[in-house]
Structure 1
């Protein structure tokens, strides 16, 4: 896991300026690769690379050249099947000069061009420049584990592992109006957009080509489609077990020590259990908060004791949480208002003291049906066949019931179509009317602009599979994987996610609904597949996630902090401060829990102040130009 920047010009006249800017940009992402740096320049392009040495410590320097200087590559990620691919290349008569997975990618590209992406098992974002054809080829992995940002200007095109690496190439930048509106619904900006209008992302599962004085050509090579099939249960259990075990084994390939995150949940427990059998000396890491009800540490410690592994627990104090917050916002790049990013930052910090690579359980919920909300279609199934007229009447009754009254939320959800009520795991400002109260300008978009096309893609599926698909296309790539990459890279730590493996996906994509979710619980087949090897106290434990005590803090010890941040922020150019402060007062008086809404606004306040005052050229007075 590393970081790179690539700049490609339409003409030869920008070389000196390009070289100056790329070295400045490279310094902004030094945390992604503190072990080494490298550059390559010619008349049309400049490549910069920051290296975190994991595989082939001596021979994996980048930018790397291949084919007697014809090809140049920069690559961020890991290719777990690169040993097998080396053998394939040798059989084809291709000579390799290193043992690095980077050379494997470019060597395969020299033989099979764009088909190379179908050979790779791993996480990746890369750029390959062909000096003979003056042509760029690049790609991003199947699920979007590794980021790839881009800008297009009159000068040419540029790519980077983090958006801050592109800012030196922008003369001016502005906030994307629709991105900000979507952010207040989703708590992140849905891809491929970012909060900065001029910067976008290459979508997961895509490759692209570019030549000077031509436009970027993007092709989607992978799209997650669920195809439920009827498979004999014992056979399916065996297939799930063997595929996940194989994936963990692949993800442990490294020339440096590998550790594992370990929470109280089943996903990290499965990964840590398999890993501990492969490497009994593996170290595990977890964090919690001292506040009552915000800790699974006892479960994690008990699991580590059962597995007989060295465990490193860490309790985050309120003071260090808020002290680190500005730095975390900076590292996140785009705004992500998921409070779970903060504990992830701290557990990565703790792990980085002991290892350079860590395994994590991200992706299991989306692939195997792990979120508790996925049980909702089962609980409201009796309402499915009620006549529409009666549904409308019940919905009207629910509307007039007092806030907080038992049954109100259930009636609302049961009588609202899935497409209108489910936009993913986070739904902050719930509807356009509520969002309009927040913004100073007239809304130009709705969350349905994001979700409607996605629902159209899966209209043939059951509601639970639809929810999984929505989360894979929005929540997973816009929130989960962003914070996983950025919070680990903040500490120069490589985070690997064995559940987000193409072979694991092939198995998970064909699971029937009952193998994923039932009234009893979630991730049914995954739990069954590993019930005999993971600690018993975890097998049927309900998902808790990474709970953070912001609800308690914002009405108590951090109320004045929040009020000051809102009051002093330039957010008034975009949002109604009086409305936001009224939410804060209602929260303090315990009239309603507005903690997630307030946190979403507060994260934007901090990001905006940082962008305006320190790191970027964004001018808040230009608003949405």
Structure 2
């Protein structure tokens, strides 16, 4: 786990490039406090900050081949590096280290971009051929590790974080209005957009090839495959899924430093922690957080049940309102750009605690998107079942969820009645894409807060078209596949951005064993009724691990993620004062983005909290940190 950066150019002097890359590396020191390295020639400069996890003595980067022709800077982990190393040895390749970095280097030398399909891991890297002057930038299939780039007139500049790119004298922090519209709507940006004009993210599962200062092609090397396997039984899929879950955990516990696991008390983190404990053959430290403002913000009881079940040492932390006020501006800076919800804050607090005891931590990120765990999927199918019952339609070829079959699973929606009120207010029985857009669209509330000038620049039709291009994957015939596909491609990378930044802010490596391409390929090939039987969220996962987890955890109907008591905090005290000072202060008023009157109305509603208030707060802090300088 590291930070990487570099400049490709045929005209900028080497000394100038090295000064810039040196400044970029300083901005990435939190990603790699254990060492640094730099490589330059007449066409490029590469920088690396190292967090030593595998082969602590010999994994230094940039790493070059023995003949000096090839150079690699790499952020992440290749979990199957031992198996790949053995295959290369059998082919006559010799190694100087036991690091996964050298395995990746040799694999790229011998196979080129074809090597990407052999990698099981999380990664972002730059690979350079000094003879041909060609280079390669690549990012893992799910976007676990970040990579950003900017194309200038005579340079390509890249880095693990946007703040490092901003050290380049020709790259400036300017607002990208199209991406802002994405943020208003989804609270993340689609495709390769970022909130910074001219700065792009390399999308998950893509690589870029180039030569000197030119990009020659951008290629998707991995994508989800929804060719449904109708031949195998549910028992086959459960057996295969269990084997892959176990093997992913086996690979991802490989570490030369202490390792632990996050444990929220939900199914995903419980599966990961339980399988890690089984493979490690002993107690593994696990970490959880809770709030004391109300029992609805405390799920530590379930985390304790799982910890006892696996004989794990449970560590708890209680985030406070005072910490929220102190840390949020720093977390917005760490994030580069705001995405997703307020879970960012407690995740950081738990990561900070974990870092005191371990250097690597496993988490359950990805389970909701892979296995269909969000309550909004059930809301969507409630409408579909009503539509089918009334109009006798079956848009998916056969009823995946009928009105009769969905009824026993509806208690899951008790805590989501505001969402359903909004959802059923208009557009009932419209097309699948329009209805799911309605479920995730946050813009109606945000629009009420924008000033007239900002509001007049919004292009709703363009945003909806951007959404449809992702949602309507040609192979996703079923609603559940369309919904989970959209979330895998958009929401998940945003959540992984949070995962990456809150862990790397304290120099902690976070691994996510559920995000294995073998697992995703298996689940996307399952018949949809098997995954979302009668509207049962995570049906196939629950059936697969039913003998692994305590029944009290397995049968929960009240899992909420990591909720933050902002509603209680907004009723008075330091958080309310902080929000008022930030959003109603002169700096925010002069910006002219949000209507002060609308913000005042929202803030002064006693004891209320909304995602639009959170979105506005994060955007204003982002402007103050980055745009205002």
Q: TM-score, normalised by structure 1?
A: 0.91
Answer whether contact 1:57 1:255 (CA < 8 A) is retained.
yes
Answer whether contact 1:571 1:605 (CA < 8 A) is retained.
no
1:282 is aligned, of 277, 284, 304, to 284
Answer whether contact 1:337 1:603 (CA < 8 A) is retained.
no
Distance 1:38 1:405, change over 3 A: closer
List gaps (5 residues or longer) in structure 1. Answer: 389-402, 615-625
1:355 aligned residue:
358
Counterparts of residues 86-485 of structure 1 (less than 5 Å): 86-171=85-170, 172-212=172-212, 214-230=214-230, 231-279=232-280, 280-292=282-294, 293-385=296-388, 409-410=423-424, 412=426, 414-423=428-437, 426-430=440-444, 434=448, 440=454, 442-446=456-460, 447-458=463-474, 460-477=476-493, 479-485=494-500
Q: What is the total number of aligned residue pairs between the two structures?
A: 595
Answer whether contact 2:423 2:438 (CA < 8 A) is retained.
no
Answer whether contact 1:287 1:343 (CA < 8 A) is retained.
yes
- 1-side partners of 2:419 and 2:235: how far apart? 44
- TM-aligned CA deviation for residue 613 of structure 1: 4.5
Answer whether contact 1:441 1:574 (CA < 8 A) is retained.
no
- 2-side partners of 1:52 and 1:420: how far apart? 45
Answer whether contact 1:37 1:50 (CA < 8 A) is retained.
yes
Q: Confirm whether residue 559 of structure 1 aligns to residue 551 of structure 2.
A: no
- TM-aligned CA deviation for residue 214 of structure 1: 3.2
- TM-aligned CA deviation for residue 77 of structure 1: 0.6
Answer whether contact 1:187 1:427 (CA < 8 A) is retained.
no
- 1-side partners of 2:619 and 2:212: how far apart? 37
Distance 1:104 1:574, change over 3 A: farther
- TM-aligned CA deviation for residue 186 of structure 1: 1.1
Deviates more, 1:483-492 or 1:420-429: 420-429
Deviations 1:355-409 (A, max 9, x none): 1100000111111111111112331234435569xxxxxxxxxxxxxx9799674
- TM-aligned CA deviation for residue 594 of structure 1: 5.2
- TM-aligned CA deviation for residue 580 of structure 1: 3.7
1:400 aligned residue:
none
Question: SS where residue 289 of structure 1 aligns?
Answer: coil
Question: SS where residue 430 of structure 1 aligns?
Answer: helix
Answer whether contact 1:369 1:522 (CA < 8 A) is retained.
yes
Deviations 1:253-309 (A, max 9, x none): 111111000012000001111111122121000001111111101111222122211
2:46 aligned residue:
47
Deviates more, 1:13-22 or 1:438-447: 438-447
Answer whether contact 1:329 1:335 (CA < 8 A) is retained.
yes
- TM-aligned CA deviation for residue 91 of structure 1: 1.6
Answer whether contact 1:583 1:594 (CA < 8 A) is retained.
no
- TM-aligned CA deviation for residue 577 of structure 1: 2.6
2:407 aligned residue:
none
Deviates more, 1:211-220 or 1:106-115: 211-220
- 1-side partners of 2:142 and 2:154: how far apart? 31
- 2-side partners of 1:408 and 1:254: how far apart? 47
Distance 1:40 1:351, change over 3 A: same
Counterparts of residues 476-625 of structure 1 (less than 5 Å): 476-477=492-493, 479-519=494-534, 521-542=536-557, 543-557=559-573, 558-568=575-585, 569-570=587-588, 572-585=590-603, 588-589=605-606, 595-614=610-629
- TM-aligned CA deviation for residue 188 of structure 1: 2.0
Answer whether contact 2:589 2:596 (CA < 8 A) is retained.
no
- 1-side partners of 2:472 and 2:264: how far apart? 36
- TM-aligned CA deviation for residue 56 of structure 1: 0.7
Deviates more, 1:458-467 or 1:349-358: 458-467
Deviates more, 1:407-416 or 1:496-505: 407-416
- 1-side partners of 2:376 and 2:420: how far apart? 18
Distance 1:384 1:433, change over 3 A: farther
Distance 1:188 1:378, change over 3 A: closer
- TM-aligned CA deviation for residue 424 of structure 1: 9.0
- 2-side partners of 1:308 and 1:121: how far apart? 29
- TM-aligned CA deviation for residue 544 of structure 1: 1.4
Answer whether contact 1:77 1:122 (CA < 8 A) is retained.
yes
Deviations 1:210-256 (A, max 9, x none): 11253341111111132332321212111111110110111101111
- TM-aligned CA deviation for residue 600 of structure 1: 0.3
- TM-aligned CA deviation for residue 452 of structure 1: 1.3
- 2-side partners of 1:602 and 1:205: how far apart? 32
- 2-side partners of 1:211 and 1:298: how far apart? 55
Question: SS where residue 317 of structure 2 aligns?
Answer: strand
- TM-aligned CA deviation for residue 434 of structure 1: 4.7
Answer whether contact 1:74 1:127 (CA < 8 A) is retained.
yes
Distance 1:241 1:284, change over 3 A: same
Question: SS where residue 454 of structure 2 aligns?
Answer: coil
Deviations 1:387-440 (A, max 9, x none): 69xxxxxxxxxxxxxx97996743546434332232498532238965766763
- 1-side partners of 2:242 and 2:350: how far apart? 28
- TM-aligned CA deviation for residue 444 of structure 1: 4.4
- 1-side partners of 2:475 and 2:163: how far apart? 38
- 2-side partners of 1:483 and 1:291: how far apart? 24
Deviates more, 1:239-248 or 1:569-578: 569-578
Deviations 1:445-495 (A, max 9, x none): 333132111233247511111100110111011x21100111110110000
Deviates more, 1:409-418 or 1:301-310: 409-418
Question: SS where residue 185 of structure 2 aligns?
Answer: helix
- 2-side partners of 1:106 and 1:405: how far apart? 49
- 2-side partners of 1:99 and 1:482: how far apart? 29
Answer whether contact 2:30 2:507 (CA < 8 A) is retained.
yes
- TM-aligned CA deviation for residue 127 of structure 1: 0.4
Answer whether contact 2:481 2:524 (CA < 8 A) is retained.
no
Question: SS where residue 169 of structure 1 aligns?
Answer: coil
Deviations 1:101-150 (A, max 9, x none): 11111111111111110111111111011111111112111111111000
Q: Confirm whether residue 5 of structure 1 aligns to residue 21 of structure 2.
A: no
Deviations 1:163-186 (A, max 9, x none): 111001143341100111111111
